[in-house]
Amino acid sequence: LAFAEAGATIVIAARTLAKGEAVAAHIREMGGTALALATDVSKADDVRALIERTTDVFGRIDVLFNNAGVSPSGAVTEVSESEWDECLNINLKSIYLTAHYALPQMIAGGGGVILTTAGTFGLRPARTKAAYSAAKAGAINLTKAIALDYARDNIRANVIAPGVVATPLLGDALDNDDFHQFLDGYQPLTGITQPEEVAALALYLASDAAKMITGAVFVIDGGQQTGLFVG
C-alpha cells in the first residue's frame, strides 16, 4: 500500500490468490494500478511465470521485494524435515528464484532494486528457531552476494531486518499486557514497531535517495540488537 501511494505499479505474488487480490483491489480503489498473481515463490515454474507475466503486462521490473516467510518453532531435534524444507524453501530459496528470473529483466531495463526482509534472528539466532534463524542468515548473505555480483549492472540489493512488528502473525499477543511488558524488558525503545515504519524504510531504500546504498542490513527493532538491556 505504501508503494502504491508513492505511485508505484504493484504486482502481488501470493499463494492464496484471494488475499492478494483483496490488496490489489484496494490499491485500484485508491486510484493505483495493481495485479495479483497466484504464486508459490518456492517453486521455479511459479516464479518464472510471475516474472514473465509481470513483464508482459507492465514491460519492466524496477523493484523486487522478497517479503514471503514462514517461521516454524523448534530446535534441530524438534523440527521435522518437512518443516525445515518448507522454511528454507520459502525464506531462502525463493530469493534465489526471484533474483534468477527477475535480474535479467531488471538489467535489460537499466537496473533496479532488490529488497529482502530477513529479521534479527538472521543476525543473532534465538532459541527454538533453528530453521528460521538459518534461513534468515542465509537470506542476508545471499542478498549481499547479489549486491556484489550485480552492482556494475546498476542493481542495488539491501536487507531489512525487523524485530517484533505489529502484524497478525503475533495473534493475541498484541492485546496481551504481559507481552508488552516482556518486550519493554529487553527492548531499549518502548513500544512496538508498526508495519508502516517498515514500509517507510523499504520506500527509502527503493528510492534514488539511497542510490549509494547496497549490500547493507537495516535493523528496525527498537534497539534490541544494540546489546544486553534490562528494563
Separation of alpha carbons 76 and 128, rounded Å: 8
Separation of alpha carbons 17 and 90, rounded Å: 17
3-state secondary structure of 128: coil
Chain position carrying cell 488475499: 19
Annotated catalytic residue within 96, 101, 132, 204: 132
3-state secondary structure of 63: strand
From the DSSP assignment, how many helices (H) and strands (E) are in the chain? 8, 6
The phi and psi torsions of 33 (rounded to 5 degrees) equal -120, 125
Longest dimension (CA), the chain: 53
Residue 77 CB neighbour total at 10 angstroms: 6
**Grid coordinates of 183:** 518486550
The yes-or-no answer on residue 186 being catalytic is no
Residue 78 CB neighbour total at 10 angstroms: 12
Cα-based distances in Å from 56 to 32, 35, 62: 19, 12, 14
Cα-based distances in Å from 5 to 34, 53, 183, 195: 12, 23, 31, 15
| Residue positions annotated with a catalytic role | 132
